[in-house]
Structure 1
Amino acid sequence: MQQTIVGVFDTMQQAERAHQALLDAGFKEADIRVDAHAGAGTSERFATREADTGFMAGVSQFFHDLFGSDDAGDYAEAVRRGSAVVSVTADEVRLAAARQALAGSGAVDIKGRAEQWRKEGYKGYQPTANAYSAEEVARERERVIPVVQEELAVGKRDVDLGSVRVVSRVVEKPVTEEVELTTQRATIERRDVDRAASAADMAAMQRGATVEVRESTEQAVVQKNARVVEEVVVGTQQTSQTQQIKDTVRSNVVEVDKQGGNLKVDPVISGKWRSHYDQNLATHGRYEDFEPAYHYGSTMRGDPKFAQRDWATAQPDLQRDYATRHPQGDWRRAEPAVRYGWEQRGL
């Protein structure tokens, strides 16, 4: 039973490699089909067409006949956006060989690509939409990976702890004081006397006598005097304290594939490398030419056999090791970047 295997490629050059890989695997030219419009780039082997309405309608119909309505639109959309699509007809015995040839040539995951489009607003293939121009295709191929690093920002905010109210009011309480009051009254006493009247007595009788005695009494007089006995001072007291905030911040590390290996670059460290390059090495070549040297110096400083050594004693061994790992490299040109990466790792 014949089946059709389809691979989506970002460039015509990849599509050419896939085509040749299929031929090398024993597939016939008649079993292979390449669909792309001029925006995908030029090709020495395949003639691309302008993405007119007729061309895109034919591409859409081909994939609709092949897959039905579910997946046809994504493949047609890939062609509209400038991808080259290679399809090959194979029997069940050779399906694995066809898949291997396409995957080994750089075929992209169309489902993942379509999912990315949907995040950017793609609603499905529209037959009336214009195909991408060469400039739009170039922008589509640019993949910008933002390097994000979190920073811990600690601020202050006011927290209401309530209010303190001081109220002055009048209270009454009974008091008792003792005071001594004096009363003066007249007293009359009659005494019986039996004696002869003297001349003084006779004279007093002739004059007559009047005696006046004033009576008096003391009364309690109450007077209230207000005296300030205490002051209540109402104010605020401000104190400060240092609080240590502990948290975690995140940053993403971009892994750049360099000649088959993985080069992990910390955004902070790579920023320092870039600054050193701009100040010292920009006239000697591209930053991408020196980045492996920065990484080599940083990596070797972390090697246990170099960790406790200074640059002067480690430099001869590093030069020999670098020459072994990079036989085509120029140590004198790379040494400033290697040393800076080494010294930064040691800080």
Structure 2
Amino acid sequence: MAHTLAAVFVLRDMAERARHDLITAGLPGASIRLHDAGSDDISATENIRRDDSDSLLDNIKHFFTDLFGGHADRHIYAEAVRRGHVVLTLEGASDADIQRATDIVERYAPLDIDAHADHWRAGGWQGMPQNDSAMRQGASMQSSAPSQQGTSAGNLNEAAAASQQFAGGMASPSPSGTGANVRRYPSADNLPGTSYDDEQYYRNHWSSQYASSGGRFDDYDPAYRYGHSMAGSDSYRGRPWDEVEADLRSTWEHTYPQSAWDNFRAAVRHGWERITS
């Protein structure tokens, strides 16, 4: 499986040195990019308007969503860019290359994004939705311990694993010898998440069904993606909703304990029917 590596730096100079060493080590330069508020990588893709801070932040978030799927860390990387930091990414790398790249990048003192995110939240940052916070906590546990996916044997175990992979691909356990400040994620192309067209479709549905009640799209997005992903998984493909709902509910409540099933059931089912209908 291909992976994406990500690390955050205070100074662009340090990020550029890390990129230079990665290329010197034989890693493909086209796959190694630096992202900041003025970078061509982001502005060319997202057409950022630099005179509009809200637009800037939204577009940066979309950029990292494309890169990491629905993983909750995308909010932290976007906030890091907004605060003037530089994010280095290596895309489409093998396990062996990720290991080599991590050893190289750590020479240049990348930031501890967990500590910085905690500091930003203490200062009033509200950029990470509650649902994503739950996903992120699971990812943090996985980065330092063996996977604990699932709550029981059989389909529920497989469903829990699939739902965690779908949820942006929780950060894989760090390879032996790697540090906490360089993260790896399954490449977005390997995730059973949603495409840009699907996201627009779900945004439109959210706008017509839930926006008027005060619910945010970021609150409903995990539910849409969960239903979308599970409908295409090997465990549930071709099975009717009524037959699998109990399993999906159990897995949802285990994966998102702060998000009541009854509040998001309809959105999960809509994502499911997007695939099955």
- Which TM-score applies when normalising by structure 1? 0.31
Question: Which one has a larger percent helix, Structure 1 or Structure 2?
Answer: 2
Q: Which has the higher contact order (CA 8 A, sep 6+)?
A: 2
- Which TM-score applies when normalising by structure 2? 0.38
- Which one has a bigger Cα radius of gyration? 1
